[in-house]
Amino acid sequence: MENDKPISLFSEDRLHRKTFVQALASEISNIKDKDCSVVGLYGKWGAGKTSIIKLLDEELKNKYFFTAYFNPWRYKSEDILLKELFIKILEGVKSDKKLESNIEELGKLLEDYSQYLSLPKVSFMGLEVDISNPLKGASKTIGTLLKGNDSFDTKKDKINNVLKNVALPLVIFIDDVDRLDTFEIQSLFKIIKLTADFNKLIYVIAFDDEIVSKALAKNYGTGDVTDGKNFLEKIVQLPLRIPFINNQERFDYTINLLNVWLDENKIQLPDKYQNDFVRHFKSLHDSFIRTPRDSKRLMNSVSFSHQCLKNEVCLFDIILIETIRIFLPLVFNELILFKYHLFSNPSEQNSYRVSNKEEDIGKNFQEKINSYREALGSIQGAIDFMFPSNNIFNVGWQNYRNEKQEDLFKYQRIGFKSILIGSLNLRLVKGIFQILNLKKSKIA
């Protein structure tokens, strides 16, 4: 199975993200402002945001940056979020050899600063920092550094005075923000904007901006998504949308996964039907397979279905029917309901002419899947390819269909109907894989 593990090396990059990642690494290297900076990586689920972060991480480490991963979805309270962020900051300062002597000072500063935030005690590198009680933890060894009635901002300034001496900015990656619930998203961005916006910090945050904007709009505006986007603009200084993957690049990515799988399983595809299959598959692919994650999901399902049907159904048909099952579930369900019309051509004939009644069947099917009307041509082509005798889509053309039954049988096509048995048996995948019994017959 294809796992959904992100890549971390350019040698694994099949979507040509190297230029984008290297440009972003150079941009981060050129940030001269000591203030906190926020980079936003916008993209839909499954589009490869985590892979870009991991590639960027390696690139920045090669430039001697300290980097750390912060996973907010592990922590369910604002207090814990802040505690974990403070630990990342302490780790970053610890990595700068020139500032090793400042680590206890910074720990105490964070401790005192957090009195306003009611945070719990944490342990870091053998140093106990009780972030809720200034009489414990680091204060035992370094004394009270903050005295009198310093304001919240004054305490924050003292933290910034330590961090400004870090040789290179500390880069903190925050991923999977769009997995959080609405309150957690709001808490995270409030922390980044108001509480943990310290000097020499660069946050690189990856998320689906539509989801996050909707969550922010509920608390920072009228509820309209535009309000959430306006709020994001105040936080993110460098908003970047991850590189667009065009139809051909997405298709090439899927075909590469397919070819690797074919090689590993020593599967040879027949030359016959191959050109037609590629044409119909690409048409469906362009409309419905949007991300690398989609490609992996499809190949996992194809692999399983092939194990079930490798001696019965041509792989071309398995790929198409799985594409429909996963990404066009309404079409798949309607194929099951219209199953008797997939083999309406008498099996002993090599061609037939459609009737007015058959045209009505096709129109009825189209009405059922009206939500896919923009891709109707792609759907029609795929169904015609798999079931050349169907009375669903190849109607109203007033022409003859010429498919040789012996070829359908020889290549184990799913649309073959045995001429020796009058009734049918068609297997289609439903759920993981469902057998449709249309009486007893031969399937191919």
Question: What pLDDT, on a 0 to 100 scale, did the predictor assign at position 283?
Answer: 96
* pTM greater than 0.95 (yes/no): no
Contacts of 236 (CB under 8 A, 6+ apart): 38, 39, 40, 205
Question: In this structure, are residues 326 and 301 in contact, taking their beta carbons and an 8 Å threshold?
Answer: yes
Taking only the tens place, the pLDDT of each residue in 51-97 is 999 999 999 999 999 999 988 877 666 777 777 888 888 888 888 87
Which residues make beta-bridge pairs with 204? Answer: 39, 173
Pairing of strands 238-241, 66-70: unpaired
Amino acid 403: pLDDT:
57
Mean model confidence pLDDT for the chain: 79
68/171 Cα distance (integer angstroms): 6
Tell me the mean pLDDT per 10 residues along the chain, length 444.
80 91 95 90 91 95 92 73 83 80 79 62 50 37 40 81 89 91 88 89 95 89 86 93 93 96 93 93 96 94 93 93 95 87 56 55 81 89 86 54 70 69 38 36 36
pLDDT digits (tens, 9 = 90+) for 333-368: 988 888 878 876 544 344 444 455 666 777 788 888
CA-based nearest residue to 383, from 348, 435, 418, 338:
338
What residue type is 130 in one-letter code? D
Contact 128, 136 (CB under 8 A): yes
Contacts of 427 (CB under 8 A, 6+ apart): 309, 312, 313, 414, 435, 436, 443
The residues, ordered by sequence, that sit 6+ positions from 88 with a Cβ below 8 Å of its Cβ are 68, 70, 170, 172
Instruction: Dig out the tokens for 177 from the structure.
Output: 């923000």
| Whole-angstrom distance, CA of residue 444 vs CA of residue 437 | 14
Q: What per-residue confidence (pLDDT) applies to 199?
A: 92
**Residues near 399 by Cβ (< 8 Å), separated by ≥ 6?**
353
Which pLDDT score, from 0 to 100, does residue 136 have?
37
The reported pLDDT for the residue numbered 126 is: 52
Q: Which whole-number Å values give the CA distances from 255 to 3, 10, 344, 427, in the listed order?
A: 16, 20, 33, 25
Q: Which amino acid is at 44?
A: K
Catalogue all structural domains in the chain, each as residue range(s) with its CATH number: 10-96+166-241 (3.40.50.300), 247-410 (no CATH)
Instruction: For residue 21, give every residue at least 6 positions away whose Cβ sits within 8 Å of its Cβ, in sequence order, or none.
Output: 10, 52, 55, 56, 59
CA distances to 113, 188, 297, 338, 433 from 326, in Å: 51, 34, 9, 18, 11
Report how far residue 319's alpha carbon sits from residue 385's, in angstroms, rounded to the nearest whole number.
12
| pLDDT in the model for residue 357 | 61
